[in-house]
Every structure is written in structure tokens, then in C-alpha cells.
Amino acid sequence: MDKKPFKIVFMGTPDFSVPALRALHESRHEVALVVTQPDRPKGRGRKLMPPPVKETALKLGYEVVQPETVRDAAFVETLNAIEPDLFIVIAFGHILSQPLLDLPRLGAVNIHASVLPRYRGSAPIQWAVINGEKETGVTAMFMDRGLDTGDILLVEKMAIGPDDTSGTLHDKLSVLGADLLIRTLEKFEADDIRPVPQDSEQATYAPLLTKRDGQIDWERPAGDIECLIRGVSPWPGAFTWLEGRRVKIFKARPVSTDTDAAPGTVIPAFPDELWVATGKGALSILEIQGASGKRLRISDFLRGCTVPPGTCLRAPDC
């Protein structure tokens, strides 16, 4: 006899969560409620905008609640009344208390965008690219009171390509996470869940990025800077300074050359190229955006802006 579909409360907020919600919608399971963050002001007009999960959930016909805090008594009572089998939590943005985690009959499952226990925290995709990792993935785990410390249920790995940015990986991992969620639910249905505790000695932490994390430190090796540029794309974006004005760097590649120029100094190259000395080797800038211009290939940028060898790409106060 077929088992009853699970009654699920889905909790998520940004674009990363949307493929998983759509996958649940297309599964045989019941999404009893969607929980997401409140609408927030965005853009120059500071107009209130709904989170992507709310927009998707309403289109799919689900009831949505947006508590300011998950400790709100009315919210907890709403969850109790549903009597869910599972919470599915993906990039929700709230920490759930132990009483909430204990509420679903089968537990609370989180999909995290790394191969745990590495890159616990808010920005696992970005830091994996910044650190030059060759591989990342998604992990399904039981939630506990710690930060991404729960027992692992399933893992799916993915290679990080040489041209991958945090943005491209985000999109790939969100789809992979949706697939992993459905396979995890199949494990629950088959009574084949085998939680594995994390090895905390192997854990690393991926804190939330700030705008300052995008500043290029030319003392770093060229390969590290190239990883930084990809890791902070699209946000906060890599930047440096040209004649006292901030410029964004979107794409670059290390080049083999011998130079004793100080890191951050433009060195001789072909007329349509911009090579910069680093702490180890040099970097060829491929795409750039000036202080008030648009994103350009370096050859187009150099047609309107002369950057002779010896120019220093450093902060004005250095």
C-alpha cells in the first residue's frame, strides 16, 4: 500500500531556495505552509519587495507567513496546528530554537550549499571559490541548535570550473540542492535514513561577505586574486583604484612573466592589454568598469582611458 505523502512546512527566502520549493510542488508531498522573511525595502525608491520564495509560493497557490521572529507565539501556534511531518529549511535566514526543531514528527532537514563540515555559515559558495577549491556541493542534514552542525543525510558533489563565479555556482547548486532534497525524501519514505555525525575537526567557517571583502590586495599571488575576483562576483564585486577613483574588475587571468615591479603596478604589455604586478606573478585584466562607466572588455576600456606602465592601482591612502 502506498505511504501517505509527507506534510511539509517549507522555510526559505532567496532565489537559492526557489528550485527546491518548485521540486516539492511537483512531488507527491503536501506543502502545508511556506514561511519566509518579511518584505524588505529595495532599490533607490526603497519600495517594499517580496522575497523570491514568497513570489513563487503565491504563484503556486500556497499560504505564506512572514514572521519578524520565529519566536512569535502566534507563529509557533500556527506550526503546531499543522502537525507537520517535516520542516524543509533552505537559506531561510532565521535560526530555529530547539522546541521548534522538535516540532515536526520526522525532524527538520536543511539543504546547505557546501560539502559539510567544510564551509559552515552564510557564504559557503563564495568562500569556496575565493579559496580556490576545485570541488563543492550540497549537503542534506538534520538541523540541530548549532550552526550547520547537524548529522549528514546525503551529499552531492560538483566540480568548480575555472570560469565559475559565485553567481554561476549559486544557480547550479540551487538546482542540485532541489534534486538532493527529493532524493532525501525518498530515503525517508523508504525508511532508509542513516544520519552520519559531522567530523568537527574538519570544519571550516564561511562568514557573510562585506563590501570590503571585494578590495583587491595586490600583495597576494596572481592566482589568489583571480579566485577572489570570481568569488565575489556578482556581490560585492572586486575593486581597486585607478588615479584615486574606484574601478571594478570583473574578469582576469594570471600571466607568466618576470617582473620586479611593486605589487599593484601596471607593467608593459601589448597596447590592448593591462597587466598588473602582484605579490607573485602578474594578472591580466580582461573586463573592467570605471568609476562612472559601464562594464567593458579591457581593449575597449583602454581606447578611452590611457593607463601607462608604472601606474599604481592602489587605494589613495596607500
Is the pLDDT score of 12 beyond 60? yes
Q: Give the annotated binding-site residues for (6S)-5,6,7,8-tetrahydrofolate.
A: 114-117
- The answer to the question of residue 73 being in a domain is yes
Please check whether residues 188 and 62 belong to one and the same domain. yes
Q: Assess whether the previous peptide bond of 67 is cis (omega < 30° from 0).
A: no
Please state, as a whole number, how many other Cβ atoms lie within 10 Å of the Cβ of residue 197. 10
Same domain, 301 and 174: no
What would the mean pLDDT of 80-90 be, rounded to a whole number?
97
User: How many angstroms separate the CA atoms of 104 and 119, rounded?
Assistant: 27
> Which grid coordinates are listed for 131?
579559496
**Same domain flag for 77 and 189:** yes
Instruction: State the pLDDT at residue 318.
Output: 56
Give me the mean pLDDT over the 130-135 stretch.
98
Q: How confident is the model at residue 178 (pLDDT cuts 50, 70, 90)?
A: very high
One domain for residues 181 and 241: no
Question: In this predicted structure, what is the pLDDT of residue 45?
Answer: 82
Q: Which of 139, 173, 206 is where one domain is finished?
A: 206
Q: What is the pTM of this model?
A: 0.94
Distance CA 93, CA 104 (A): 19
Q: Are residues 139 and 164 in the same domain?
A: yes
- Mean pLDDT, residues 86-110: 95
Annotation: binding site: 114-117
172 in the same domain as 236: no
pLDDT at 25: 98
Among candidate residues 174, 206, 238, the one where a domain is terminated = 206
Partners of residue 285 on adjacent β-strands? 252, 274
Cell numbers 602582484 label which residue?
278
273: closest CA among 253, 251, 298, 250? 298
The band of 42, judged by pLDDT with boundaries at 50, 70 and 90, is confident
158 with 50, same domain: the answer is yes
Residues above pLDDT 90, as percent of the chain: 90
Q: Residue 284 sits in a domain of what CATH number? A: 3.10.25.10
Q: Which of 246, 90, 85 is nearest to 177 (CA)?
A: 90
Residue 211 domain flag: no
Q: Which set of grid coordinates corresponds to residue 133? A: 577549491
Mind listing the pLDDT tens digit for each residue in 195-204? 999 999 999 9
What number is the average pLDDT over the span 279-297? 92
Inside any domain, residue 2: no
The CATH number given to whatever domain includes residue 75 is 3.40.50.170
Residue 214 lies in a domain: no
Please tell me whether residues 200 and 229 are part of one structural domain.
no
Q: Is 50 in the same domain as 83?
A: yes
Count up the domains in the chain and report the number: 2
12 and 140, same domain (yes or no): yes
Look at residue 317 and tell me whether its pLDDT is greater than 70: no
Provide the residue range defining the domain that includes 297. 222-312
Same domain, 291 and 257: yes
Q: What is the mean pLDDT of the chain?
A: 95
**Position 116 in a domain:** yes
Domain-located, residue 212: no
In a shared domain, residues 131 and 30: yes
Q: What is the DSSP string of 66-79?
A: --S-TT-HHHHHHH
Asked which of 166, 182, 206 is the last residue of a domain, the reply is: 206
In a domain, 75, yes or no: yes
In a domain, 226, yes or no: yes
- How distant is the alpha carbon of residue 287 from its chain centre? 22
